[in-house]
Amino acid sequence: MAYPTDSIQLPRRSLGFLPTPVVELRTLARYLGGPRILMKRDDQTGLALGGNKVRKLEYLMGDALAQGADCVVTGGAVQSNHCRQTAAAAAVCGMACHLALGGSPPALLNGNLLLDSLLGATIHWSGDCRKGENIPQICAGLRQEGKKPYVIPYGGSNEIGAAGFVEAVREVAAQLGPDIAALSHVVFASSSGGTHAGLLLGKILYGLNFQVIGINIDKGESGERPLREHILDLANSTASHLGVSAAFSAEDVVLLDDYVGAGYAVIGDLEREAIKLTARHEGILLDPVYTGRAMGGLLDLIKKKAVNRSDTVLFWHTGGSPALFAYAEELSR
């Protein structure tokens, strides 16, 4: 099967080391007694310790530059990987970066927050707002100062950012060649929806058959729209934005809520066990908030035989390891 070589026709600023490797987790699979597990190493995208946001940011920063912006504004939780990667992307592009971070200043900077500061981002401490709810006020202030801000939405998840994961499907299909036909499932952490929406659209665009399974990371306590509705709308609006004919319906969005435990960034046994198992069998570090939870979900699906021994699963490692250091206490148990 031949895969299109053309990338998406949107402004793009190269930021990452792409393609990222695909590795096979042979030792872990042997320990589990199957299935075959591949891992897409987006923890190795290269920009300031990597992660999935680099793919979205290549298109978002491309758009910001095309619009003549002189600074970018985004938001997230205090240990946001998205914010750290945005700060790095802005630095490479010679732009200022403003981050609306949930909470209040801690006594000691660590994990992603330490990196935000090293990367030169301006932090706007935002109390209960951990999804960039106060970005409009920050932008209004910047405009008053004569600046030209470009807003990057929470998690980089709009039609432009999601295009990065449409392109990621093309990348992995080209990488695996005929072996892609053996893939039964792609499993990953889903939180702001852009990764999920992009993978859904990429799968249709490139005629692939695997099941796209998002492990929900966030209970959505702040009363916003249900994530699955957001993913569905984003998959459809990304298709329109890219001029692709694809229409998704609710049943296309497989988002498993079973692993959110006590909520966003509350680390429990599921995450701890998955992180240790992957580290000790493969020498690969997951993160406590996203990929640890998603791998915990995959291990449970294997245990429940929802994923069979004869299947081939691709686990998409979306990054996040800088946050390990911010959760030292929870992970030392």
Ligand X SMILES: Cc1ncc(COP(=O)(O)O)c(C=O)c1O
- Catalytic positions are 80
* Number of residues near ligand X (by CB under 6 A): 20
**Would you count residue 75 as binding ligand X (CB under 6 A)?**
no
Q: How far is the CB of 152 from ligand X (least distance, A)?
A: 12
Please tell me the distance from the alpha carbon of residue 145 to that of residue 295, in angstroms, as a whole number.
45
Return the range that interacts with ligand X (CB under 6 A); candidates 113-121, 170-178, 201-209, 314-322. 314-322
Nearer to ligand X, 142 or 326 (CB): 326
| Contact (CB, 8 A) for 292 and 264 | no
Among 75, 193, 288, 296, binds ligand X (CB under 6 A): 193
| Contact (CB, 8 A) for 222 and 183 | no
Q: Residue 121 region, left (φ>0) first, then alpha (ψ -120 to 50), else beta?
A: beta
**Would you count residue 79 as binding ligand X (CB under 6 A)?**
no
List beta partners, residue 99: 74, 123
Nearer to ligand X, 142 or 185 (CB): 185
Output helix, strand, coil percentages for the chain, rounded to the nearest 5: 45, 15, 40
Residues sharing a CB contact under 8 Å with residue 29, sequence separation 6 or more, in sequence order: 35, 36, 37
Return the range that interacts with ligand X (CB under 6 A); candidates 10-18, 57-65, 103-111, 313-321. 313-321
DSSP H helices, 145-260, are 159-176, 194-205, 227-242
Q: How far is the CB of 305 from ligand X (least distance, A)?
A: 26
Among 44, 45, 126, 192, binds ligand X (CB under 6 A): 192
| Contact (CB, 8 A) for 88 and 299 | no
* Residue 255 φ/ψ, nearest 5 degrees: -130, 115
Write the binding mask 150 to 189 for ligand X: x where contact by CB under 6 A, - elsewhere: -----x-x-------------------------------x
Nearer to ligand X, 35 or 288 (CB): 288
Residues sharing a CB contact under 8 Å with residue 151, sequence separation 6 or more, in sequence order: 72, 73, 74, 135, 139
**Would you count residue 194 as binding ligand X (CB under 6 A)?**
yes
The token pair at 148 is 């030209």
In the range 288-307, which residues lie near ligand X by CB under 6 A?
290-291
In the range 236-255, which residues lie near ligand X by CB under 6 A?
none
**Would you count residue 202 as binding ligand X (CB under 6 A)?**
no
Would the CA dihedral through 61, 67, 72, 75 be positive or negative?
A: negative
Among 52, 158, 216, 278, binds ligand X (CB under 6 A): 52
Nearer to ligand X, 238 or 318 (CB): 318
Q: How far is the CB of 30 from ligand X (least distance, A)?
A: 26
The footprint of ligand X (CB under 6 A) covers 51-52, 81-82, 155, 157, 189-196, 287, 290-291, 318-320
